[in-house]
Amino acid sequence: MNSPANSGSVEQTPIPFSEGVRVWARVAVLSFGGPAGQIAVMHRILVDEKRWIGENRFLHALNYCMLLPGPEAMQLATYIGWLLHGVRGGLVAGCLFVLPGFLSIMALSVLYASFQEASFVQAIFFGIKAAVLAIVIEALLRIGKRALKTWPMYLIAAAAFVAIFAFDAPFPLIIAAAALVGFLGGHFDPARFLVIRARETTEDGESEPEAVLHTGGMAKAQPTWRGAVRTALIWGSIWAAPIIALILLVGPNHVFTELAVFFSKLAVVTFGGAYAVLAYMAQEAVQTHGWLAPGEMLDGLGMAETTPGPLIQVVQFVGFMGGYREADMLGPVASGIAASVIVTWVTFVPCFLWIFLGAPFIEKLRGVKLLTAALSAVTAAVVGVILNLAIWFALHVAFARLDEVRGYGARLLVPDFATIDVASVVIAAAALIAMLRFKIGMLLVLFVSALIGSLYYLAMMAGT
C-alpha cells in the first residue's frame, strides 16, 4: 500500500454509514439562511470539523451543483453523500436536508391557512428573519474569502453582481459567461485562474487530502454510458410516475395534476434558486391559476427563509394553498397536504437525477485544468450572485417600502428610509456581531433573536 507521501492522500478508517446519517441530520437541522448559510454549514462540519472531504473536492462539487437547476445546497449534500456512501448516502443526505423544512412549512402552512392573521406566528418570524439576514452575510464573507483568491476572481464576482443586481441578467447567462472567461483565462494565465487546485497545503505545510478517502464510497467511481442510461431511466421514471398516475386517476385539469405538471417544468429551469423564479412563479400561481392571493407569495417566502432547508421549498406553500383553495372530497387541509407532497416530489426528485447521472462524469473530469479554471470562475461569479441575494434580502428586512429606479437599461431598488425597521436592523446587527466577533453558534443566535423579536413584536401589537 502506498504511503501518504507517495500517494498524496491520507489513510483513514472508513466512515460508518450510521455516523454519516447522524451528521447529515445535524446539517439538516442547522441549514438556515438560504444557500449561502447552508453551504457554509456543510463546509464547517464536513471540511473543517469532520475532515471527510478536502477543500478542493468540496468546491469542485459546489461548482457543478451551481450549474444545475434546483437548490444547489441540497444537491451539494446529495453529491457529497454519494461520494461518501454511494447512492444510499446521496439519498439519505438529500432527503434529510429537505425533511426539516418540509415538516416546518407543512405545519406553518396549516396554521397560515387556518389562522392567517395570527399575530403569534408573525411575531415568531419577526426576530428570526433578522437573524437569518446576519447568517447570510456571515456565510457570504466565509465563502468569498475562500473563493476570491486572485484579482480576476474579484473582477468576475463584481461583474456578476452588477449584471444581476443592476441589469437583471439571467443567471444561466452569468454562469455561462463566467465559465467561458475562466476557460480562456486558464489557457492564457493559469496561475490566476486555477483557484481550485488538485491539492493544496495547509497552514502547517502538510498536503491536504485530494479525495474523499472512504473505501465504501464513490470517490473512485468510473462513469459508463450504460450506467448513465440506466440512471436516467430509473430516476426519470420515479419523477414521471406520479404525474402519469394523476392524469389517469383525476384527469389533466385537476389541481393536483396542474401543480405536478407546472412544478415539474419549473424544476428544469430553476437556475439561481428561489429568487430567480419567484416573479414568474408568483405570476402563474396568482394570475393564471389562482392558487394564491396577491401578497401571499411573500408570506410563503418568509416561511422558507426562516425555516431550515432550501429556499425553493416555498413551492410547498404554493402547492398547499392551491390544494387548500380547490379542495374536493378530501377537505381543505387534507387536500392542501396532498398537494404539498406532490409539489415537493416533483421539485426534488429531479435533483437526485442530476446528481446521480452527472456526478461520476464530473469526478472523472476533476483533473482537467481548463475545466477547473472554468469552474473556479463560476464559483467567483456565484459569490457575486449571492451578494445580490444578500442585499435583496437586507433591503426587504430593513425597509417596509422599496422603489424602483430605472435608467440606461439598469434597474435599482432604492429604499424609502422613512420606512426603516430599526428593530430588525438592530437585531440583525447584534446577531452578526455575535457570530463574527464572539463566535456564538447559529442555533443560539436564532433562538435569542426569535425570543427578542417576538417580545418586541407582541409589545408593539399590544400598544396599537
- For 206-253, how does the pLDDT look when each residue is reduced to its tens digit (9 = 90+)? 444 444 444 455 555 677 889 899 999 999 999 999 999 999 999 999
How many angstroms separate the CA atoms of 380 and 69, rounded? 18
Note the pLDDT tens digit of each residue in 402-447: 888 888 878 888 888 999 999 989 998 999 999 888 888 777 887 8
Average pLDDT along the chain: 82
Between strands 410-415 and 402-407, the pairing is antiparallel
Dihedral pair phi/psi, residue 413, rounded to 5° = -90, 125
Task: Give the 3-state secondary structure percentages of the chain, helix then strand then coil, rounded to 5.
Answer: 75, 5, 25
Q: What is the pLDDT of residues 42-77, one digit of tens each?
A: 988 998 888 888 887 888 788 788 778 888 889 999
Which of 7-16, 157-166, 391-400 bottoms out in mean pLDDT, i.e. has the lowest?
7-16
Domain-wise residue ranges, the chain: 98-199+224-463
d(CA 404, CA 181): 31
Q: How many CB atoms lie within 10 A of CB 409?
A: 8
pLDDT at 382: 77
- In the block, cell 477547473 appears at 372
Q: Are 70 and 351 in contact (CB under 8 A)?
A: yes
Q: Distance of CA 245 to CAs 34, 282, 330, 361, Å?
A: 33, 27, 18, 33
Long-range contacts of 395-404 (CB under 8 A, 24+ apart): 397/129, 397/130, 397/133, 397/421, 397/424, 397/428, 398/424, 398/425, 398/428
Per residue in 171-209, pLDDT (tens digit) is: 778 888 998 999 999 999 988 887 755 444 343 444 444
